[in-house]
Amino acid sequence: MCRVTRKRRAASALTVMASRFRDRRSAIRRSIARRCTATKGESAMKTLRRLSCLAGMLLLPSLFAPLGADARPLPAGSLAPLSSLLMPLPSVVGAHLIMSRLSSAPQHARAGHVYVLHGSVVNDGSAAARGPVVVHLLRVGTRPLAIGRTVVGLAAHDSTDVGVRIRLPRGLHNGSYTLVACVQRAGRSGKLGCVTAERHLQIGPRSRTRAARVSAAAPSAACSSGAHSLSPFGAHVYPETGNGGYTSLHTDVYLNYDTASNLFLPGTHVVLSNQATQCLTDFSLDFERTSPNTKDGPDLTVGSVLVNGQPASFTFVQPTYPGDPNGQNDPDPRAHEAGQLNPVGGPDNNPLPPACSPELLSTNPNKQFDLDGTQCPANKLVITPSSAIPSGASFVVEVDYTGRPGVHNDGDGTTEGWFRISQQNDAGGFVTTEPVATEDWMPLNNHPSSKPTYDFYDTVPLGKTAIGNGELVSQLANLPDANFPGGSTTWHWHSPEGIASYLVENSIGSYDLSVRLSSSGIQYYEAQDLAIPKPKAAANKAIMDMQEDILNFQSAFNGTYPFTTDGVVIGVPAASFEEEMQTKITFANGKIDLQTLHHENMHQWWGDNVSEANYNLTFFKEGLATLGEYFFIAANAQAAAGGSAAAFEQSLVNTFNTVYAGSDLLWTGAPSDPRPYTLFSGSKTYRRPGIAYIALRLILGPANFNAAFQQIQSTYRQWSVSEAQLESAFESFLPVPSASCRARLGQFFTEWWDTVYPPGGGANRPQITGPGLDGGGFHC
Ligand SMILES: [Zn+2]
């Protein structure tokens, strides 16, 4: 996350944007009217008929031919086959081709063999177009290979089914590949539109599986409740989040979202696939249905809960401070109080640790302790299945819910979560959620160490775009129904990689979405709200286009990029921060800047692939993202000096020395012991650890430092890391691994990460630095 822009507000700019917004819905209605001879000013019924007319235009017989036998069927509860037709995007002037779907290759497809993949192409533009459909084979770190091609010609507002013959090259290296089909919007020119076959192609044995990471199931003990928190005793930074007794493996999200009313409609549900790590009588999720923020907070209702398809009882309870010896149902009300610190204190001098972080409605520092000692809201959704779940068993939880998603008020008074977009001709949501607000729009195991994989099936009004993490699998249109009388589109996004709770992305609205294929086998998605004025959007795009260069630059330090996709979403709400949403970095206020993109992209390795084991380790990944900014500044210095490597190194030294001479704020709190109010303070969470990594790089030597990075990325891939694990990993790359050097490095970490200094600077700050840096250097 980057909260540099926290205080910015852009309300007046948004008004200007809105006036320039082209009404896409009107455009499509005009277009339909032309083709279907409807007239202006019709009733709602006529509107329906016109949409049906459009559906008719798109209902080619070939669409209803079954997909290849290997294709994965649409999930239960999703589209019925006959209500499904191809996605008619709003009409645009000129040709506008999009790929709508692509089937997967057979499960056991082999190198050197030939297969036929089935896909669909739509032209939602006003002009005919002809151009190639190309199927590419992608693998991170290698060039995309075009392995199949056909040509489609489409009239305006037409669609077609295609079969593409692909040949998998002989001698493919072992690994996981994605199959991606693309068309250009104007046939032979314009932005790319691509879809990815949901099932990846696996050549050779799979690499280490996620399943191996599932905690060992406890031996058969008496069945009991799962823990209502994943934090240890005494934790005081969001101790209310996370749930024990099971591991989250995969989540399917089905949102039926009406952009105009900002409501989740009937049919909205999540399906959470878990594995029990103990015998469970009951277990919990995190879900904030309502909040003190009555204007922008959520207002959600749970309809039903199923466990393994059977109705389960559920209730909402307050959190209890972790480790309460009286149990999770402690009748003492003091066991359920909010607080910034341990103990709660507050007006009643509560000696117990806090059960939750306060949801402040103000960012005024004088008000940060105002809610200490107040009761925590009942945001723990406790589910009791009809029979106990055995230890080690897989189980599936379905939660149906409806209502208004919203934002969460943090322990520092800022908000994050589902930001509503509501202006003329531009309605929807923009999701940016660190640290805890995913529970303000969906129930989940809300903790950064919980990292299920995801599929998103967002059904939204016709013409709206939904954006999730990972790969776009399909966009399929539905006939009008009770939820969407004007028709709808279901967008399916698939993340093959696990996602930490605060990095789940799901923005829905009037976004212009395109994708680029890079020479390194990564798909780069770019999305901007259409309300952003064209000159600004063009400037934004120029920066988004640099993401590939940034990623390649950062790979030299961090090693191979850990995901199959990367991307940026630029929204218009005045959210006060940018965030490293996994593979879909979010920028607010309608703009992006290059240095912050370096910061957020660095997070894709640090925070996203390797997550913090708990909130107090936020400094670990924010420090590394800040280091990404320092690397960017150093690279500019190097370029200005004609490519001199010495200039790169000198820039880092200068950065260290400048920050090290900085204010008391850097030293008067420990990065590893924040309170909710200071979790995102620039000095202790960003700059102090940021320059600590510069020092560490010089202590280890740049080559060893990079090697340590890459080993941590590999060891903790799609997982989380603790402070002790991190320190141990760096220690193993000490150039002189003597006992005294190890001890000295241990002291270095203690000084930089864990020590509170009195004000004054000078001796009241870390004294162990690094070779050639101000301070005491590193001697052992
Ligand atoms: Zn950050």
Which pLDDT tens digit goes with each residue over 609-622?
999 999 999 999 99
What's the CATH code of the domain at 464? 2.60.40.1730
Q: Dihedral angle at the C-alpha atoms of 205, 211, 212, 218, nearest 10 degrees?
A: -150
- Residue 545 and residue 518 share a domain: yes
Q: Are 769 and 660 in contact (CB under 8 A)?
A: yes
Closest of 204, 145, 205 to residue 180, by C-alpha: 145
As a whole number of angstroms, the distance between CA 503 and CA 648 comes to 32
Mean pLDDT, residues 645-673: 97
**Is 18 a member of any domain?**
no
As a whole number of angstroms, the distance between CA 474 and CA 459 comes to 12
Q: Which residues are 224's β-sheet partners?
A: 280
On the question of pLDDT at 42 being above 60, the answer is: no
As a whole number of angstroms, the distance between CA 600 and CA 617 comes to 17
- Residue 423 and residue 551 share a domain: yes
Residue 597 alpha carbon to ligand 1 centre in Å: 10
Residue 74's pLDDT band (cuts 50, 70, 90): very low
- Residue 642 and residue 572 share a domain: no
As a whole number of angstroms, the distance between CA 95 and CA 187 comes to 8
- Residue 638 and residue 599 share a domain: no
Q: Are 606 and 621 in contact (CB under 8 A)?
A: yes
**Is 773 a member of any domain?**
no
Q: Which residues are 61's β-sheet partners?
A: none
3-state SS class at 599: helix
How many structural domains is the chain composed of? 3
- Residue 515 and residue 393 share a domain: yes
Look at residue 576 in the predicted model and tell me its pLDDT: 80
Q: Are 279 and 224 in contact (CB under 8 A)?
A: yes
Mean pLDDT, residues 291-303: 97
- Residue 276 and residue 412 share a domain: yes
Q: What is the biggest distance separating any 2 CA atoms in the chain, rounded to whole angstroms?
A: 85
What's the CATH code of the domain at 194? 2.60.40.10
Q: Per-residue b/e over 588-620, b at no fewer than 16 CB within 10 Å?
A: bbbbbeeebbbbbbbbbbbbbbbbbbbbbbbbb
**Is 295 a member of any domain?**
yes
Q: Which residues are 455's β-sheet partners?
A: 252, 494
Look at residue 205 in the predicted model and tell me its pLDDT: 86
Domain containing 78 equals: 61-203
3-state SS class at 667: coil
Which pLDDT tens digit goes with each residue over 642-656?
999 999 999 999 999
- Residue 693 and residue 594 share a domain: no
As a whole number of angstroms, the distance between CA 585 and CA 752 comes to 29
Residue 593 alpha carbon to ligand 1 centre in Å: 14
- 347-353 long-range contacts (CB < 8 A, ≥24 apart) are 347/373, 348/373, 352/321, 352/324, 353/233, 353/234, 353/235, 353/236, 353/239, 353/321, 353/322, 353/323
Look at residue 750 in the predicted model and tell me its pLDDT: 98
On the question of pLDDT at 20 being above 80, the answer is: no
**Is 574 a member of any domain?**
yes
Helix ranges (DSSP H) in 462-593:
534-544, 547-558
Residue 92 vs residue 4, higher pLDDT: 92
Residue 1 alpha carbon to ligand 1 centre in Å: 3
- Residue 241 and residue 159 share a domain: no
Q: Final residue of a domain: which of 175, 203, 231?
A: 203
Look at residue 220 in the predicted model and tell me its pLDDT: 62
Q: Final residue of a domain: which of 145, 171, 203?
A: 203
**Is 739 a member of any domain?**
yes
Those residues whose C-beta lies under 8 Å from the C-beta of residue 43, and which sit 6 or more positions away, are none
- Residue 640 and residue 598 share a domain: no
From the number of C-beta atoms within 10 Å of its C-beta (0-12, 13-18, 19+), residue 171 rates as exposed
Residue 495 alpha carbon to ligand 1 centre in Å: 21
Which pLDDT tens digit goes with each residue over 174-191?
999 999 999 999 999 999
Q: What is the mean pLDDT of the chain?
A: 88
Residue 12 alpha carbon to ligand 1 centre in Å: 27
Residue 681's pLDDT band (cuts 50, 70, 90): confident
Q: For the chain, how big is the Rg over CA atoms in Å?
A: 26
Residue 6 vs residue 582, higher pLDDT: 582
Closest of 560, 570, 489, 517 to residue 181, by C-alpha: 517
On the question of pLDDT at 170 being above 90, the answer is: yes
Q: Final residue of a domain: which of 581, 603, 625?
A: 603
**Is 490 a member of any domain?**
yes
Q: What string of H, E and C letters represents the secondary structure of 402-424?
A: EEECCEEECCCCCEEEEEEEEEC
On the question of pLDDT at 9 being above 90, the answer is: no
- Residue 672 and residue 559 share a domain: no
Residue 693 alpha carbon to ligand 1 centre in Å: 15
Residue 8 alpha carbon to ligand 1 centre in Å: 17
On the question of pLDDT at 705 being above 70, the answer is: yes
- Residue 227 and residue 193 share a domain: no
Q: Are 523 and 515 in contact (CB under 8 A)?
A: yes
Residue 439 alpha carbon to ligand 1 centre in Å: 20
Residue 632 alpha carbon to ligand 1 centre in Å: 15
On the question of pLDDT at 16 being above 80, the answer is: no
Lowest mean pLDDT among 74-83, 280-289, 401-410: 74-83
On the question of pLDDT at 687 being above 50, the answer is: yes
Which pLDDT tens digit goes with each residue over 569-579?
999 999 889 99
Mean pLDDT, residues 253-273: 98
Look at residue 35 in the predicted model and tell me its pLDDT: 26
Say which residue the tokens 């926290």 belong to: 6
Residue 618 alpha carbon to ligand 1 centre in Å: 9
Residue 699 vs residue 9, higher pLDDT: 699
In degrees rounded to 5, what are phi and psi of residue 739? -60, -40
Residue 201 alpha carbon to ligand 1 centre in Å: 33
What's the CATH code of the domain at 708? 1.10.390.10
The angle, 0 to 180 degrees and rounded to 10, between the axes of the packed helices 739-749 and 688-700 is: 170
Q: Which residues are 98's β-sheet partners?
A: 122
Residue 694 alpha carbon to ligand 1 centre in Å: 17
- Residue 632 and residue 503 share a domain: no
**Is 280 a member of any domain?**
yes
Residue 292 alpha carbon to ligand 1 centre in Å: 27
As a whole number of angstroms, the distance between CA 669 and CA 689 comes to 12
**Is 138 a member of any domain?**
yes
